[in-house]
A = this chain, B = another copy of it.
Amino acid sequence: MKEFAERYKRELVDNVMPFWVRNSKDETHGGFFTCLERDGKVFDTDKFMWLQGRQVWTLSMLYNQMEQKPVWKEMAEQGAEFMLKNGRDAQGDWYFSLDRSGRPLMQSYNIFSDCFASMGLGALYKVTGKDEHAEVAFDTFKRILARQDNPKGKYNKIYPGTRSLKGFSLPMILSNLALELEHIVDVTTVESLIDKVVYEVMEVFYQSDTGLIMENVQLNGAFSDSFEGRLVNPGHIIEAMWFMMDIADRKSDKGLMDRCIDIALQALEFGWDEQYGGILYFKDIHNKPPQQLEWDQKLWWVHAEALVCMAKAYAYTGNEKCRVWFEKLDAYSFANFSDPTYGEWFGYLNRQGEPLLTLKGGKWKGCFHVPRALHKVYSVLQETPICTAIKR
């Protein structure tokens, strides 16, 4: 495992981060370009706020936890400056996108912009100690909690009452955000939020008959036999399980840890494509045709998060099945996603494993899942798994 750890560190420091440092900085207007072709050339200059926040987070986190590289700090600060200057509407909610110069393009309909703005500024505060970074992170966090029951607000197109569903993404993100903002948010709020999201994820969205977590459930957690209700996103389940494992580790809750590993393994079995390898993007729980035309594609973030999940699961418990899955995912990902020629990972493969798009960044892919995953895997595999297992 030490050899894996070294390889992940080299991939992060020599292959992935240099790609973003070299290509993503907008020297003219501030902020980051994220629409980058295979070789790093900028192909579009729009700025998606959630990816701006994510990149500020990644640079700040690596500066805090990996190495105090001045260029990482400087890029994080110039990203935050652009965000703070241009990113919010009059209510303090974050726009979805801006043009290159910072003028709003798309309204604040998407609460994930706010989640990653808060997370990015929270991490940057650990680097800079500037009050403004903590304050805006905290104010944004409060707005997220206030909006959480109707995150889309007036842009919500669902007719009220006929089929009320709630989505898994927000509680999932909040379970990670709560831990990320512990240094800013009071302990009572953090603890009660953690209890609430663990209950939502592990009880409400979890379905005992299949051992899986659904993307959308009825308000009381019951299964909904509809397109939305039948949808399974294996990557989301697996990513959420390592968020939950971090909480289990923090609480020394071995029961929760074991349940997380069971669910993650179940999601991997369910999502793995036996024909071509890799994890499918979407499946219908009843094997009906899903609405998502991209259902059979292999996405970078799904595999990056699965690597983190299995590395943590093995490191925390020594579970041999998790080591086997980790090695299988590692082989698939480094053979198909990683691009040693130009750096970073391809984002979108077709079912057969060939690049469907050769971009390295776009509207939905930025400097986040790959470097975070490489750093998490490196960090966790540095520890001796067996010692960790014995501790528990």
Contact = CB atoms under 8 A, between A and B. Distances in A.
How many copies of this chain does one complex carry? Answer: 2
Contact of A157 (B96, B297, B359, B362): B96
29 contacts: A37-B288, A43-B288, A44-B226, A44-B288, A46-B227, A99-B162, A99-B163, A104-B159, A104-B162, A105-B158, A105-B159, A105-B162, A106-B157, A107-B159, A109-B157, A154-B154, A155-B155, A155-B157, A289-B357, A289-B358, A289-B359, A289-B362, A293-B297, A293-B356, A293-B357, A294-B294, A295-B357, A350-B350, A350-B351
Contacts of A288: 37, 43-44
A258 interface: no
Contact of A348 (B227, B293, B363): B293
A89 B44 CA distance: 40
A7 interface: no
Contacts of A106: 157-159
Interface in A341-366: 348, 350-351, 356-359, 362-363
B356 A107 contact: no
A187 to B, nearest CB: 37
Given A103-B159, A106-B157, A293-B357, 20 more contacts: A95-B159, A96-B157, A103-B162, A104-B159, A105-B158, A105-B163, A106-B159, A107-B157, A107-B158, A155-B157, A227-B363, A289-B362, A290-B357, A291-B362, A293-B348, A293-B356, A295-B356, A296-B350, A296-B356, A350-B351
A58 B104 CA distance: 43
A362 B293 CA distance: 12
A40 to B, nearest CB: 13
Nearest to A104: B159
Interface size bracket, A side: 35 or more
Nearest to A110: B157
Contacts of A99: 162-163
Interface of A: 37, 43-44, 46, 95-96, 99, 103-107, 109, 154-155, 157-159, 162-163, 226-227, 288-291, 293-297, 348, 350-351, 356-359, 362-363
Contacts of A109: 157
Nearest to A352: B352
Contacts of A105: 158-159, 162-163
Contacts of A159: 95, 103-107
Contacts of A295: 356-357
A162 B98 CA distance: 9
A154 to B, nearest CB: 6
